[in-house]
Chains A and B, each alone.
Chain A
Amino acid sequence: MCLGIPSKIVEIDAALKTGRVDHLGTKVAADFALLDEPRIGDWVILHAGFAISRLDDEEAKKTLDLLREVAEQDPSFLS
């Protein structure tokens, strides 16, 4: 139920706060009632048909930097 794969918003009905997202290449109906100002192109986590969180690019970059750092500091990195 809680798969972590993000979906991308591709359609919005602003009045109803519903629309569609692209989830791994398939377009599925989504409800944006729990999202502040949904925008086309936003990446969201969809859960039981509702977007419950929007992905934060800055935070994603920070985590990726941290991962790179861990890999580079690893003793086997240069060997």
Chain B
Amino acid sequence: MPKIDLFQDRTTVEALLRRAARLRPAAGPSCRLMEVCGTHTMAVHRSGLKSRLRDAGIDLVAGPGCPVCITPNDIHEAALGLVMERENLILSAFGDMTRVPTRRGSLQSAAPARGSSVRVVYSPRESLDLARRHPDKEVVFFGAGFETTIPAIALTARRAALEKIGNYSVLTALWLIPPPLRAILQAKDARISGFLYPGHVSAVIGPQAYEFVPREFGIPGAIAGFEPADILLGIVSILEQMAAGRPRVDNTYGRVVSPDGNPLARAAMAEILDEKDAVWRGLGRIARSGLKLREEYAAQDAERRFGLVLGEAAADPPGCRCGDVLKGIVEPPGCGLFGRACRPDLPQGPCMVSYEGACLAFYKYGRNR
């Protein structure tokens, strides 16, 4: 095992916190850093870094980096419609996706049509295996994810086509990370002074995917890993950039993110998928921010295969402010339902469902400081 103890070591973490606090005054009047990735959100709450940093005048704001949360309800409802209305269909999905509430309930609570069912999987590969094992059923994978998961999902569609597995298709909810960052900066209301970029999305797309952020917006940023010391290294780098007035894209997670990302994964994406404009929960339509299967994989595209009508974003749950949470405009306690009508055992919106959701992170760890 590579030595990771130092990344969790208290003395190191305290030293980094003190360094961040010392750098803070030189960074300017306001310091709002968006942690783009939901796993960072969870990590900064769990480790207590969120409140420690706030005490030092460094605010961390959650971003749009949770695929379960930013997938709008029309797609969730389309998945629900498939399993409730079509017989002999297996809808497979990552666990969190099955618990998102919609007007028709959640996948977990759905009453499937005859011979149909919902199956939780960890990998799209398991989904393809289900299709192999159940040739008499349609198997649809509810494929939601960012650049970390997209290559895997795309490859299963290609394998189904190559191996002539005729009963496998994907309901795609594939989201690209750089476009919403541009949208957030253009909207200005989140007042972001720096980005903590996601570690594993960056392992695929590479640091250069964010170059437009310092170049066009003058905003600093750093790619960071997920241990407390990793996160603080990223934050210290952003503060140094702010203090020096020299914004760039730093990579503090070099052990996992190589300068060119993962070219094989990007090639798979480019060969199998096309860019499209996509509607994000909270952020609305963003140009070329989503991906869909290319024409030659139309048979593996559940949307075309079943003639699904998407794009009319179904309304968010009444009172739920997930959309504003994802843009970094409000923090979860700013939602009137937080902790009362909306709790992990009774989630009203996806941000309370997902393991990477900001509302769940606040609920679970908000009290410990």
Which chain A residues have a beta carbon within 8 Å of chain B's beta carbons?
1-4, 6, 8, 29, 31, 33-36, 43, 45, 47-50, 52-53, 55-57, 59-60, 62-64, 66-68, 70-71, 73-77
Contacts and interface: CB of A to CB of B under 8 A. Distances in A.
Contact of B126 (A49, A55, A70, A74): A49
A67 B5 CA distance: 11
B2 A60 contact: yes
A60 B4 CA distance: 9
Nearest to B96: A1
A73 B236 CA distance: 14
B151 A70 contact: no
Given A34-B264, A49-B124, A1 B16 contact: no
A37 B13 CA distance: 36
B51 interface: no
A79 B257 CA distance: 36
Give the interface size class of chain B.
35 or more
B227 A74 contact: no
Interface of B: 1-3, 6-7, 9, 11-12, 14-16, 18-19, 37-39, 67, 94, 122-126, 145, 148-149, 151-153, 155, 198-200, 203-204, 225-227, 229-230, 233, 236, 252-258, 262, 264-265, 268, 355-356
Contacts of B16: 67, 70
B89 to A, nearest CB: 22
A47 B149 contact: yes
Nearest to A35: B264
Given A50-B151, A52-B262, A56-B258, A63 B2 contact: no
B2 A57 contact: yes
B18 A63 contact: no
A48 B123 contact: yes
Contacts of A33: 155, 264, 268
B252 A4 contact: no
Contacts of A59: 254-255
Contact of B122 (A2, A34, A48, A52): A48
